[in-house]
Amino acid sequence: QKEVEQDPGPLSVPEGAIVSLNCTYSNSAFQYFMWYRQYSRKGPELLMYTYSSGNKEDGRFTAQVDKSSKYISLFIRDSQPSDSATYLCAMSAGNNNDMRFGAGTRLTVKP
Amino acid sequence: GAVVSQHPSWVICKSGTSVKIECRSLDFQATTMFWYRQFPKQSLMLMATSNEGSKATYEQGVEKDKFLINHASLTLSTLTVTSAHPEDSSFYICSSAGPSNQPQHFGDGTRLSIL
């Protein structure tokens, strides 16, 4: 079993839809949770960074962490074609040397 | 936000050539930098962890003599692919990190094509 599981998709939604992206993990020591967005032929860009359980909102993006279920989510409201990218979840126990990445979910938002 | 500059963004060269990729942390002093390799439609594969002033730590299966890493200052790490061959063609991405509980920030990657 991988430490971090993420459905690679691809996921295709119409413009304006609410997108839900998810990751599960097995290591209960993970405390820091991140979502990165990666456009084609570019490096990953940090979108959200949360510590422990709870919700964090930034504009159209909401990150949720449920440590009891070892499950994290990223919601995108009013999705736009410019949101089309690969979204990677990442997590660590507190040392950035041990960060683990999900496989990434390819998202396409169609106009 | 933090900015990591990676150069060059794309390089094409002949088999047998050595290629150097630079990674600069522009906004903060990076005690640690990371080098990743990414194949098409796949996630990031950590190659090595680079610590300023000490030898890099390589992941299992990564040839340290093939992929030379130098981290001479708190803002610059370099990856040299020595005697590159077509199988080394890939997308190489660096990242930098400050204090241990802070997230990594990535460069824009280098597309390496070996003919």
User: Among all chains, which residue has been given the structure tokens 């003599």?
Assistant: B65
Please tell me which of the candidates A42, A96, A106 has its beta carbon nearest to residue B104.
Answer: A96
Sort out which chain A residues have CB atoms less than 8 A from B108's CB and list them.
42-43
Please tell me which of the candidates B6, B32, B105 has its beta carbon nearest to residue A46.
Answer: B105
**B108 touching A (Cβ < 8 Å):** yes
| Tens digits of residue pLDDT in A69-91 | 999 999 999 999 999 999 999 99
**pLDDT, position A17:** 98
Kindly list the distances between the CA atom of residue A17 and the CA atoms of A11, A55, B104, in Å, as whole numbers in the listed order. Answer: 12, 20, 30
**pLDDT, position A109:** 98
pLDDT at A97 over 80: no
**pLDDT, position A20:** 97
Q: Concatenate the DSSP letters of all residues of A22-34 into one string.
A: EEEE--TT--EEE
A83 three-class SS: helix
Q: If 0-12 CB within 10 Å is exposed, 13-18 middle and 19+ buried, where does residue B1 land?
A: exposed
List A residues 3-22 in contact with B (Cβ-Cβ < 8 A): 8
* Contact call for residues A14 and A108 (beta carbons, < 8 A): no
| Tens digits of residue pLDDT in B79-106 | 999 999 999 999 999 999 876 678 899 9
**pLDDT, position B40:** 86
| Tens digits of residue pLDDT in B28-74 | 787 789 999 999 888 899 999 988 888 899 999 999 999 999 988 88
pLDDT at B20 over 80: yes
| Tens digits of residue pLDDT in A35-74 | 999 999 899 999 999 998 889 999 999 999 999 999 999 9
Pairing of strands A71-76, A61-66: antiparallel
Residue type for B7, please? H
**pLDDT, position B2:** 59
| Closest alpha carbon within chain B to A102 | B43
**pLDDT, position B1:** 56
Kindly list the distances between the CA atom of residue A66 and the CA atoms of A26, A34, A63, B6, in Å, as whole numbers in the listed order. Answer: 12, 13, 10, 35
Q: Which residues make Cβ contacts (< 8 Å) with residue B63, sequence separation at least 6? A: none
Average pLDDT over chain B, rounded to an integer: 91
Sort out which chain A residues have CB atoms less than 8 A from B103's CB and list them.
32, 34, 46, 49, 90, 96, 99
Kindly list the distances between the CA atom of residue A11 and the CA atoms of A25, A103, B5, in Å, as whole numbers in the listed order. Answer: 21, 14, 30
- For B59: left if phi > 0, alpha if psi spans -120 to 50, otherwise beta; the answer is beta
CB atoms B44 and A88 under 8 Å: yes
Q: Which residues make Cβ contacts (< 8 Å) with residue B7, sequence separation at least 6? A: B21, B22, B24, B110
Please tell me which of the candidates A8, A90, A94 has its beta carbon nearest to residue B101.
Answer: A94
